[in-house]
Structure 1
Amino acid sequence: MTVSRTRTVLPAAALALGLLTATAICAPAALAQSGGQPLRLFPLPGQGGNQGAGQENRPPAAEQQPSQTPQTLPGTLPGAATDRSAPAPTAPSQSAPGQIAPVRPAPAAPAQTDSAPSLRVPMPVPVSSNVLAAPSLDSLGIAERGFGQDIWNGTPRAVAQRLLESLPELPGSHALYTLQRRLLVSAALLPPPGPEEGPEGTVLTIRAQALREMGALDDLSALLASLPRNAGSEGLSRLSLQTDLLRGKDDAACATARNAGSTYGGVFWRRAQIVCDALARETGRVDLGMTVLREMNVPEDRAFTRLVDAVMGHSVVLDSLPAPTALHLALLKAANMPVPADAVAGAPPTALVALAEGDYAAAEISIAAAERGLALGIVSADRLAALYTAYPATPAQLAGAIAAAEKRSDSASRAHLFRLASEESLPLAKAEAIATALRIARDDGSYMATARLYAGLIAGMQPTGEMIWFAEPAAHALYAANRPEDARPWLLAIRDRGRFDEMAATAWLRLWPLARLVGDDTVTVWEDMALEASLNALMTAQPNEGPARAALLAALLDAAGEPIPSTLWRGWLDGPYIQATALPSPTIWFALENAAAEARIGETLALVLIAGGSDPLGQIDIVPLRRIIQAMRQADQPKAARQLALEAAIAHGF
């Protein structure tokens, strides 16, 4: 909501009263300090002092008559020479003793000349701003993880709510995933809801549900923990219960089931109470709950029924769990049953994170969940590294890990190869294992996740002379993992070697654009010759696809803020002018253009995420990619914009 900021001017009468009060308070102390002689607070006529333009000799405060509060002209500051609200200065008059001198009109101030400095205060320019509401339930968030509280300034509540509802369930980029997570946890102010915008807390529920859909369990848990007592709706209470179960906080979840279950009587709450009764081994209550559930004539959840029986001590076989929920996983863990193999493939993001981070019977299930979660950007590389490290391996299996990984690709071979790279003490042998893992990952489409997994190991190595062959894959993997500081020593080694080594010089041309995309100007300076050489190398290596790939790389550099010569595009005008490209609705692009130009940060970022969607970056065309990255820079996110540009370049094979 946009309103004008009004100025509040102190009335002159109040100002004069304050001065009279201060004089009355200070007078006794002043007399005491003067040794009994009256201390004159104002100069006598003719004793002058320095008088500024528009100032007159004033009589003592006691001789002034109180006046009514006059009107204050707009644009006037209290106490200024142009402040028409101040009492007009008067000259002293000859009066009988004990009488108050009449107030006479003050003489007109002398006309201003060029030689005399003006004391007039310039008329303040009216200021307009968007005023947001006071903090409310919808403005709750995690300040240290999100953006500022004014990101929705200038955006109507209905628009913000619609944009938040339209965010992708799971962005197809690590950079965009981080951006969406930060937007959803931001403690940002919103105007109060209108009659048709739902009750207070509607936007908070939308944000919490979006965090659940993208598997951000830590952020979701922290957001729900900020809720005031008894402030949650049914949707928020359900999310709180599910989150606690997925994080192993059964007592907190069951407390929610008892408190909210008595208020909300749906199927979910019936099942939640049955789960809590089963965890407490309350046989009678479980039987009663299952009877009530059958009487509600809801479709049977066979996996739920079997898991309840297993927790209560019955012999049960569960060979399939295609879409596990928080209730399923809580019962599965309580029954100490193995997770069915199909649970990982069909698990929604929150369940996938729980499977990767929980302590379940089969290590292969947790590894498979962590591998899929790392590829989606919702599980950390450290978690998968810990699971790989704990995976059992014999000395013979470690010795043959490289050959086994090249022959077949499964969880066991990947775990053994990582263990070999982690435990190998010889730098050359360690580098060989890492290079093999990166090469296999390029072939099977898991390169970005594998680079993040091995980045910590690479960062601990040194680019010595015997390791120069490993410098390019090492630097490239570190850039893919968004660790440009760790990539710098390897890039420097390539640059220095390239002065007399043609292979190193070629590697430098391939890596130079990545260093520029990330903004690392401590290693590379911008050179038109280097850009031209890099693009020419691209077109030489791939004559058919080279021009299109060169245009993509130049567009990414331009979007990231690097100076692309305006004449560059002319050299490619002989290519095809028409290209079929799938683009979002034009409305999205027009709205994004407007929001970015007017610096509406939250609106811009939400539209960026909607435009990016859930498709992998390698499937997004050059034109929308460039506009998305530029909009991120306009929204004061230059580092995230460069990260997205770098990620897009690597996803497109650079």
Structure 2
Amino acid sequence: MTLRSRLLMQTCVLAMMTGTGLGSAPASAQNSAPVPLFLKQEAEQDAERQVAPSPTNPGATSAPRSGGFGNTSSGTTETDTFPSDPNAVQSLSLGAVDAEAVGTIDQSRGGLGTDMWNGTTRRSAAQLISELPATPATHAARDLQKRMLLSAAALPQGSADISLLEARVAKLIEMGALDDAIELVRSAPQGSRGSMLAQAEVNALLIGSRIDAACDAIEGYGASYEELFWLKAAAMCAFYANDPTSAAFTVDLVREMGGESDATFFGLVSAIRSGSTADADLLNDLRPIDLALLAIAKQSIPTSQLETDNPAAIIGITTADATATDVRLEAARKAENLGLISPEKLADVYQSVNFEPAALESVLDDASEGIQARQYAKLYQAAAQSDVAAARAEILAALFEAADFEGDFMQAARLAAPLMTDIPVNGDFSWFAVPALRASIAANSFERAENWLQVAKSSANASNDISSRLSLLYPVLAISGLEETGAVRRTAMASDGNSSQSFGSDPQSGPTQNFGLGGAVVPGAPTSSGGMASATVMPNSASAEDVQSASDRAAALARHRARMVEWQEMQAARGDQAAARRYSELIFNLFEGFGIEVPNTLWDSILTAPYAEERMTTSSAVSHQLNAAAAARQKAKTAALAIQAQQVAAVDNADPKVLSDTVTSLLVIGQENDARRLATELLMSFNQ
């Protein structure tokens, strides 16, 4: 007897017992060949559905490995060519609609363009997606990764058994982009959603502690699929609805259908029934359904999960009702730093803490809280409640100082960004100008940063230290484009001689729309770029049309050289010369990536033994493929490999040349805003 038959029998029995009717399954539910999600799936499901599991990465897609990031597999070469110019005349097949090509953003909202998979096979694309990091080393890389996964784009033909949509959704869930994952699933035509996409939607809801919505989805999907996942999910919903009869019947079916080996599931079921605590040994590798069962058992997620790399558990600790306040604070702090939750969610967690009104009023005079995240929450609440701009600025300055000491400045800047908008940008706040400038840059508020920079410059004099603080910050100002350096900007150019357009990283505001494509681009159709992309150089100015004169550029270059010499003198006075050298190397390499001059004397200043050093770097295969993909203007492949390459940024001995190559590759494919954000974040995150 099949699982579906048993479910129908169960429903009929329960209907007779309770007097309820039998509901019909939605017509939209269909089966399709799945790509395994990142989440731990039941062993029986893996055995049935994995086509070619990898011994080293069982959670990856079912696409066979090619041994690297190449475009061939099993001795067969697939050649899929897509126009690199979205405005070019294209030859399209108006056959079947490809549901896999759907997305929730287009190029005007930060997407990488309909041609982003140009030159990449479907099998290679699946591998690139599945191997993207769950927690990119920088928020700039995370933003790029999320937009790549959400972009509507034409897909390579061939290998139709590989579902890139399922791989995209799975990766979004793995990186904590739960709402985006749900939206992407629901953007697909209903008739094209298979069991894996349905499971992904349910898992995303469960991770976010939205059990009511998850059970609604389970009720709609469950009777249409055969996997044990749906039976366990039905049991969980029965427990949640306080329906012990239905729960017991369904749990018995799970056992009868061969699910007795799932010790975690049955251990949590036993805890719910007895009102006891589940064995901690069963809670080491928590799945979304386990998080829901723990919530039903009113048992908190073990705090040891904070030290794991399980994004679902970290998010679960942040959102679960049973989590102790101080644990929730530290979990939210970690989750936001990893990009698993938004700054807005972190603000909600901080606002949920109860502080005495007197403690908030005297926040600048009281002793620091014992838990760092609690201190941040206290300062944040005090700043949010202050209606006096000067008082709010003082509190935010204290928040930035405390966070800077702990290495959390970037997070504090993202958290405080909405509060900064009510502080006037004028000379009355000159004392706050430099912290506000740094925070605005960190929060990607560059227009506001430019205004604070002007306030700081006009307020600098011999009686304050603003000038020296701006000198220390100069490399960040140069990289972010807030200071003219006399540099030239590289712009990728198509073979027709027209420079490509750089699209910003910020999705424009407006109503959410879903985008899909009809048909697929015919292989061999004319493209505007054939292989190596040519390049041109343009003055580094506010717009490509505003060409600087030679004299203006020369003056800017002279100022840049003087500022860099001044900056280097300050670095030479630092106590930790090893750290100063590492920071200098990072800056000089990033400067060269952007075409900003580094005087030879500055390179000479760090030319000291030992000349051979141990560095954390990427494999030569990644470096080669990154450069090749950028030269061929393969946007998605370049973005994926750039994200992989910048993963070394999180370690102390990262190779700065790798980080420079990452930035350069993004510039070549026209993602200048991404390149600047990534480089700026690298500099501001450096432990000086």
Q: Give secondary structure in 2 for the equivalent of 1:392.
A: coil
Q: Distance in 1 between matches of 2:652 and 2:601?
A: 27
Is the aligned partner of 1:221 residue 2:182? Answer: yes
Q: Give secondary structure in 1 for the equivalent of 2:141.
A: helix
The match for 2:146 is: 181
One of 168, 176, 181 as aligned partner of 1:207: 168
The match for 2:376 is: 414
The match for 2:344 is: 382
One of 574, 586, 603 as aligned partner of 1:541: 574
Residues 69-118 of structure 1: per-residue CA shift (max 9 Å, x gap): xxxxxxxxxxxxxxxxxxxxxxxxxxxxxxxxxxxxxxxxxxxxxxxxxx
Q: Distance in 1 between matches of 2:614 and 2:470?
A: 34
Quick one: which amino acid aligns to residue 334 of structure 2? R
- Give the TM-score taking structure 2 as reference length: 0.68
Q: Distance in 2 between matches of 1:163 and 1:132?
A: 26
CA contact (8 A) 1:3 1:128 kept: no
The match for 1:643 is: 677
Tell me, which stretches of 5 or more residues in structure 1 are unaligned?
6-126
Residues 238-293 of structure 1: per-residue CA shift (max 9 Å, x gap): 11221233456656644554565445444422211211222333322211222233
Is the aligned partner of 1:235 residue 2:196? Answer: yes
One of 397, 405, 419 as aligned partner of 1:435: 397
Moved more, 269-278 or 177-186: 269-278
Quick one: which amino acid aligns to residue 572 of structure 2? M
Q: Distance in 2 between matches of 1:519 and 1:571?
A: 25
> Could you say if the C-alpha distance between residues 385 and 648 of structure 1 is closer, same or farther in structure 2, counting changes exceeding 3 Å?
same
> Could you say if the C-alpha distance between residues 567 and 600 of structure 1 is closer, same or farther in structure 2, counting changes exceeding 3 Å?
farther
Shift of 1:591: 0.9
The match for 2:250 is: 289
Q: Distance in 2 between matches of 1:332 and 1:576?
A: 54
CA contact (8 A) 2:592 2:598 kept: yes
Matches within 5 A, 1:349-364: 349-353=311-315, 355-356=317-318, 363-364=325-326
> Could you say if the C-alpha distance between residues 227 and 248 of structure 1 is closer, same or farther in structure 2, counting changes exceeding 3 Å?
farther
> Could you say if the C-alpha distance between residues 256 and 574 of structure 1 is closer, same or farther in structure 2, counting changes exceeding 3 Å?
closer
Residues 181-219 of structure 1: per-residue CA shift (max 9 Å, x gap): 11111111122233xxx615x211111111111111121
One of 514, 518, 521 as aligned partner of 2:480: 518
The match for 2:627 is: 593
The match for 2:592 is: 558
> Could you say if the C-alpha distance between residues 130 and 448 of structure 1 is closer, same or farther in structure 2, counting changes exceeding 3 Å?
farther
Shift of 1:297: 5.5
One of 85, 109, 129 as aligned partner of 1:164: 129
Quick one: which amino acid aligns to residue 632 of structure 2? E
> Could you say if the C-alpha distance between residues 264 and 347 of structure 1 is closer, same or farther in structure 2, counting changes exceeding 3 Å?
farther
Q: Distance in 2 between matches of 1:163 and 1:323?
A: 25
Tell me, which stretches of 5 or more residues in structure 2 are unaligned?
1-77, 83-87, 487-555
The match for 1:610 is: 644
> Could you say if the C-alpha distance between residues 543 and 305 of structure 1 is closer, same or farther in structure 2, counting changes exceeding 3 Å?
closer
Q: Give secondary structure in 2 for the equivalent of 1:140.
A: strand
CA contact (8 A) 2:267 2:279 kept: no
Matches within 5 A, 1:567-578: 569-570=603-604, 572-578=606-612
CA contact (8 A) 2:442 2:684 kept: yes
Shift of 1:455: 3.0
Shift of 1:140: 1.8
CA contact (8 A) 2:182 2:204 kept: yes
Residues 365-394 of structure 1: per-residue CA shift (max 9 Å, x gap): 543432222111222222222332342211
Shift of 1:404: 5.1
Percent identity over the alignment is: 26
Q: Distance in 2 between matches of 1:421 and 1:477?
A: 15
Q: Distance in 2 between matches of 1:466 and 1:631?
A: 43
Moved more, 643-652 or 345-354: 345-354
Quick one: which amino acid aligns to residue 187 of structure 2? S
Residues 127-171 of structure 1: per-residue CA shift (max 9 Å, x gap): 999979975132121134532111111222222222222211221
Larger Rg over CA atoms: 1
CA contact (8 A) 2:202 2:217 kept: yes
Shift of 1:173: 0.5
> Could you say if the C-alpha distance between residues 181 and 619 of structure 1 is closer, same or farther in structure 2, counting changes exceeding 3 Å?
farther
Shift of 1:567: 6.8
Quick one: which amino acid aligns to residue 271 of structure 1? K
Q: Distance in 1 between matches of 2:81 and 2:458?
A: 60
The match for 2:541 is: none
Quick one: which amino acid aligns to residue 444 of structure 1? E
> Could you say if the C-alpha distance between residues 571 and 328 of structure 1 is closer, same or farther in structure 2, counting changes exceeding 3 Å?
closer
> Could you say if the C-alpha distance between residues 617 and 479 of structure 1 is closer, same or farther in structure 2, counting changes exceeding 3 Å?
farther
> Could you say if the C-alpha distance between residues 615 and 291 of structure 1 is closer, same or farther in structure 2, counting changes exceeding 3 Å?
farther
CA contact (8 A) 2:614 2:653 kept: no
> Could you say if the C-alpha distance between residues 248 and 357 of structure 1 is closer, same or farther in structure 2, counting changes exceeding 3 Å?
closer
Q: Give secondary structure in 2 for the equivalent of 1:482.
A: coil
Please tell me the root mean square deviation across aligned C-alpha atoms, in Å. 3.5
CA contact (8 A) 1:324 1:347 kept: no
CA contact (8 A) 2:663 2:675 kept: yes
The match for 1:274 is: 235
Q: Distance in 1 between matches of 2:178 and 2:417?
A: 24
One of 646, 649, 662 as aligned partner of 1:628: 662
Q: Distance in 2 between matches of 1:537 and 1:500?
A: 17
Q: Give secondary structure in 2 for the equivalent of 1:579.
A: coil
> Could you say if the C-alpha distance between residues 337 and 221 of structure 1 is closer, same or farther in structure 2, counting changes exceeding 3 Å?
same
- Give the TM-score taking structure 1 as reference length: 0.72
> Could you say if the C-alpha distance between residues 340 and 400 of structure 1 is closer, same or farther in structure 2, counting changes exceeding 3 Å?
farther
The match for 2:31 is: none
